[in-house]
């Protein structure tokens, strides 16, 4: 018996290798090389990188530390956006390196899981205080608009409630003046929806767009914690932030 990945298992079942060749593979396994590599086959014109709860659209560098890029995005000759990263260990050696969708993982790996469908990769190296989960999914324009609309409505309702709370401490005459100078609620809500949708409308040229979500913990002077609801860095908490364009989203020195 020999353990193989899904693709190579199918090749072995169809007789690509002889029994002798399979026995040699088992004697000298590929993973004994000291690192694991693979390729992300996702090729899209536009990607949205979610660094925990921080979304980045058309931002060149997602994360840099001391002017060294850790996670960044570039394009191939066909215009597809590709993900790259080079995250160092405590000694400065690479823990995980990705060059335009080709990835390599180094070090004393406690766990690595790459789903055959290519929708997620998970790496854990506890002695480096490193864990990273990468999830990939296509987003249609309808899905993004529906999500933004729900958040816009929630933000509008929170704004309305804060305004009502503030009005309670004001004289009725002043409240009447302030209310008269505001647009009707439905008009104000539509304005918020358009404002929230604008970064996507003007920066996503081809749908579906690829969403790459990064969660886990990255080593740094103060470890960077990434969750879907919050990103912990600089000793602070960032929630549902959006970076559009620019050279870098997060720079640590």
Q: Please, which pLDDT band fits residue 144 given cuts at 50, 70 and 90? A: very high
> H helices within 32-182, ranges in order?
141-167, 172-180
CB atoms within 10 A of CB 186: 9
Whether 59 and 130 map to the same domain: the answer is yes
Examine the domain organization and report whether 220 and 98 are in the same domain.
yes
Q: What are 124's two structure tokens?
A: 């854990």
Q: What residues make up the domain containing 192?
A: 142-196
Place of tokens 């766990």: 111
Query: Does some domain include residue 34?
Result: no
DSSP helix/strand/coil, 192? helix
Residue 16 lies in a domain: no
Q: Please tell me the distance from the alpha carbon of residue 56 to that of residue 58, in angstroms, as a whole number.
A: 7
Residue 123 lies in a domain: yes
Q: Is a pLDDT exceeding 80 seen at residue 15? A: yes
Same domain, 97 and 182: no
Handedness of CA 147, 148, 153, 156 (dihedral sign): positive
Nearest to 243 by CA among 82, 78, 72: 72
Residue 33 lies in a domain: no
Q: How confident is the model at residue 32 (pLDDT cuts 50, 70, 90)?
A: low
What the block records as the tokens of 162 is 């804060």
- How far from the centroid of its chain's Cα atoms is residue 64's Cα? 15
Same domain for 58 and 125: yes
pLDDT of residue 33: 56
- 73-109 confidence digits (pLDDT tens): 999 999 999 999 999 988 889 999 999 999 999 878 8
Residue where the block lists tokens 């004994």: 32
Do 166 and 108 reside in the same domain of the chain? Answer: no
Same domain, 164 and 95: no
Mean pLDDT for 137-147 is: 95
Of 146, 138, 150, 145, the closest CA to residue 207 belongs to 138
Q: Are residues 49 and 118 in the same domain?
A: yes
Rounded CA-CA distance 93/175 in Å is 62
Q: Please count the other Cβ atoms lying within 10 Å of the Cβ belonging to residue 16.
A: 11
Residues 86 and 163 in one domain: no
In this structure, the answer to whether residues 231 and 118 fall within a common structural domain is yes
Average pLDDT over residues 218-228: 90
Q: What is the pLDDT of residues 55-67, one digit of tens each?
A: 999 999 999 999 9
Residue at 170 is within a domain = yes
CA 15 from chain center: how many Å?
39
Is the same domain home to 175 and 91? no
Domain boundary among 154, 176, 196: 196
38: in domain: no
My answer on whether 169 and 55 are in the same domain is no
Whether residue 80 contacts residue 65, with contact meaning beta carbons closer than 8 Å, is answered with no
Kindly state the tokens that stand for 168: 């309670």
Q: What is the mean pLDDT of residues 6-35?
A: 78
**Predicted pLDDT at 10:** 82
104 and 122 in a single domain? The answer is: yes
Taking the alpha carbons at both ends of the chain, their separation in whole angstroms is: 51
Share of the chain above pLDDT 90, in %: 65
Cβ–Cβ < 8 Å for 133, 120: yes
pLDDT averaged over the chain? 91
User: Quick check: is 1 in a domain?
Assistant: no
Closest among 208, 247, 242, 217 to 53, alpha carbons compared? 242
Q: Could you give the dihedral angle defined by the CA atoms of residues 84, 68, 97 and 216, in that order, rounded to the nearest 10 degrees?
A: -90
Q: How many domains does the chain have?
A: 2
Q: What is the pLDDT of residues 151-203, one digit of tens each?
A: 999 999 999 999 999 999 999 999 999 999 889 999 999 999 999 999 999 99
C-alpha to C-alpha distance for 158 and 155, rounded to whole angstroms: 5
CA distance 3 to 192: 54
Give percent of the chain with pLDDT exceeding 70.
97
Higher pLDDT, 214 or 233: 214
pLDDT digits (tens, 9 = 90+) for 189-217: 999 999 999 999 999 999 999 999 999 99
Using CA atoms, how far apart are residues 172 and 73, in angstroms rounded to an integer? Answer: 54
Q: Is residue 7 part of a domain?
A: no
């Amino acid at each position: 018996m020999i353990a193989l990945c899904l693709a190579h298992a199918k090749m072995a079942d169809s007789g690509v290798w002889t029994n002798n060749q399979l026995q040699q593979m088992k004697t000298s396994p590929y993973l004994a090389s000291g690192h694991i590599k693979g390729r992300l086959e996702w090729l899209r014109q536009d990607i949205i990188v979610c660094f925990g709860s921080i979304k980045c659209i058309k931002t060149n560098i997602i994360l840099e530390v001391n002017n060294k890029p850790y996670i960044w995005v570039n394009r191939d000759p066909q215009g597809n956006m590709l993900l790259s990263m080079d995250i160092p260990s405590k000694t400065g050696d690479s823990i995980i390196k990705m060059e335009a969708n080709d990835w390599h993982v180094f070090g004393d790996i406690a766990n690595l899981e790459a789903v055959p469908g290519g929708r997620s990769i998970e790496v854990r190296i506890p002695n480096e205080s490193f864990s990273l989960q990468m999830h990939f999914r296509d987003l249609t324009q309808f899905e993004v608009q529906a999500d933004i609309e729900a958040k816009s409505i929630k933000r509008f309702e929170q704004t309305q409630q804060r305004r009502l709370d503030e009005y309670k401490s004001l004289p009725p005459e002043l409240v009447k003046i302030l209310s008269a100078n505001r647009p009707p609620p439905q008009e104000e809500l539509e304005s918020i929806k358009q404002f929230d949708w604008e970064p996507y409308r003007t920066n996503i040229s081809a749908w579906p767009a690829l969403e790459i979500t990064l969660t886990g913990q990255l080593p740094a002077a103060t470890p960077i914690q990434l969750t879907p609801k919050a990103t912990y860095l600089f000793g602070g908490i960032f929630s549902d932030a959006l970076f559009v364009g620019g050279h870098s989203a997060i720079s640590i020195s």
